[in-house]
Amino acid sequence: MSAPRARALACALVLTFAGGVRAQQAPASAGGPTSPDNWWLLDPGADRMNGISGERAFRELLAGLKPKRGVVVAIIDSGIDTAHAELHGSLWLNPKETAAGDGDGDGLVGDVRGWDYIGGPGGKDVDGDTFEMTRQYAALRQRFDVPAPDTTSAQARADYAHYRELRDKVAAKRTEALANQSQVEQIGQAIDRAMVLLRQALGTQPVTVDNVRKLTALRTDLAMARSAFLQLAAAGLSPADIDRARHDARSDLEFHLNPDFDPRPVVGDNYADVNQRAYGNSDVTGPDAMHGTHVAGIVLGVPGNREKLEDGTPAVRIMTIRAVPDGDERDKDIANGIRYAVDHGANIISMSFGKDESPQKSVVDAAARYADAHGVLMVHAAGNDGANLDSATDFPNRYFLDGGQAANWMEVGASSWKGAEVLAADFSNYSKTRVDLFAPGVDILSTLPGDAHGRLSGTSMAAPVVSGVAALLMAYFPQLTATQVRQLLLQSATSFANQLVERPGSGDNAGQVRFGDLSVSGGIVNEYAAVKAAQQVK
């Protein structure tokens, strides 16, 4: 949850629960309009939903056909719940490995389903980690936070200036995080009290918007609880969202923005050696697999991707690479994750993560070049800052430090089910030159740990939509190369180039832009059109 959104909710709920303040009734539209669970798979024409036309493609173009090729999608993320009933049968298995050995000779013992680059000996795992800017500040602080820092050389002066910039930035972010934590805690405590009262009032009935709205003739405290719950629902949030926001707020202060925190000893590698390959452990689930599990479900949720080959094996399988903590990923781990995927036969690498600084970008660039040379498609989420990537920084990206760029790379922004002026998700990064296309990324229903399901939003959800469509094309049209698949997805995207939309990140002040100015294609990925185009490729 963004700090501004948290503050707005805090103000509303603090007023609701302030002593002596009369509870306001929630607006009649509490909860707001909702989308169908499968909105992202629907057709813009037939269903009037700006989805990917996935169900139509499977129904009209692929019915009765068998996929012809097995495709492996490597997901570099926080981990995947490998026991989830809807995912387990479609997970990649290393054909040469056993749980206790190193059958494939890669130096990684037991990498049966993938590898965890942020785990260590004895099954220990990194959960929370710092932001990259915090790590860089902490490293420079050791050098410059002394009575008389050495700034005699030009390089030393540049490093000192960077140190001061990072010091001030981290301090400002910590101040903001403290305020945000206070506000989110107020929200959380208010909702905790409200839920206790509402559960008592509803008895065996679940606490839903409809049931809470039906409560009438209430005493003052219950009326306030009702109002608070409906205000939360009107903002499109649930008590679970507030719990997550409280967790995130605490993490900002305890881990992300704490220069004294360093979990890396858990991994036990030589962190300075960016060429080190053999470290980590085989625990591909990790302590918090929510994000990666949701991403995996989206890839497999693309219609056609759960079909079987003639021999009965899954057409699309998920390789799990854990390298993304609660905090910023580290360049060394991402580079090794990309190389692992390539070396173990992945056709597509789906990457739903990003950060503002990349001190070892050259190492990631080398890994991206390696994937390019082996014909592997890389799909990356554009980020959730509502920023123009022409002027903002986001890593990793396709552009190499020494010139040139990765050919088989796709950068994906997030679109919304609401359409029209809000077709582009308000949080999505964008760029006419650096973002290739958009894909559904708001309120996407997918798998969550523990055989659960839930809706999440972000370019993190849009990227696996594209990865899933790419996997479908490769499975049904085995002659297609990664380069051809990338080109087909761009050319077949549903064009909304001339649609005027609110510019992402603009709030209420910025006015509108053409959707075509937000990406190279000016469109949203379309499975139906992509399959039709693939059918024409000789």
pLDDT at 30 over 80: no
What is the rounded average pLDDT for all residues in the chain? 92
Closest-CA residue to 92 (of 332, 349, 303): 349
Long-range residue pairs from 440-443, CB within 8 A, at least 24 positions apart, any chain? 440/39, 440/40, 440/50, 440/51, 440/52, 440/414, 440/415, 440/416, 440/465, 440/524, 441/413, 441/414, 441/415, 441/416, 441/465, 442/414, 442/415, 442/416, 442/417, 442/418, 443/34, 443/35, 443/39, 443/417
> 509 falls in which pLDDT band (50, 70, 90)?
low
Q: Average pLDDT for residues 489-512, to the nearest whole number?
A: 89
Q: Report the distance separating Cα 512 and Cα 502, nearest Å.
A: 5
Q: Average pLDDT for residues 245-268, to the nearest whole number?
A: 96
Q: Report the distance separating Cα 423 and Cα 499, nearest Å.
A: 9
Per DSSP, helices labelled H in 18-145 are: 54-60, 132-144
pLDDT at 26 over 80: no
Q: Average pLDDT for residues 340-354, to the nearest whole number?
A: 98
Top-confidence residue, 434 or 190: 434
Please state the pTM of the whole predicted model.
0.91
> 508 falls in which pLDDT band (50, 70, 90)?
low
Q: Report the distance separating Cα 370 and Cα 101, nearest Å.
A: 27
pLDDT at 29 over 90: no
The structural domains of the chain, with segments of one domain joined by +, span 3-32+156-256, 39-129+281-535
pLDDT tens digit sequence for 210-222: 999 999 878 999 9
Q: Average pLDDT for residues 341-366, to the nearest whole number?
A: 97
Cis, bond preceding 396 (omega within 30 deg of 0): yes
pLDDT tens digit sequence for 123-151: 999 999 999 999 999 999 999 999 999 99
Residue position matching structure tokens 């036969």: 345
Q: Average pLDDT for residues 153-160, to the nearest whole number?
A: 96
Per CATH, domain 39-129+281-535 is 3.30.1740.10: no
> 34 falls in which pLDDT band (50, 70, 90)?
confident
Sign (positive or negative) of CA dihedral 93, 96, 100, 101? negative
pLDDT at 75 over 70: yes
Three-state SS at 472: helix
> 244 falls in which pLDDT band (50, 70, 90)?
confident
Residue position matching structure tokens 């920023």: 387
pLDDT value at residue 33: 60
Q: Average pLDDT for residues 476-494, to the nearest whole number?
A: 98
pLDDT at 64 over 70: yes
Q: Average pLDDT for residues 59-81, to the nearest whole number?
A: 97
Q: What are the structure tokens assigned to 372, written together?
A: 């390019």
Distances (CA, A) of 453 to 147, 192, 215, 468, 528: 55, 23, 28, 18, 26
Could you tell me if 517 and 503 are in contact, meaning their C-beta atoms sit under 8 angstroms apart? no
Beta strands 316-322 and 348-351 are: unpaired
Residues 6+ apart with CB under 8 A from 225: 193, 194, 195, 197, 198
> How many other CB atoms are there within 10 angstroms of residue 479's CB atom?
11
Could you tell me if 527 and 57 are in contact, meaning their C-beta atoms sit under 8 angstroms apart? yes
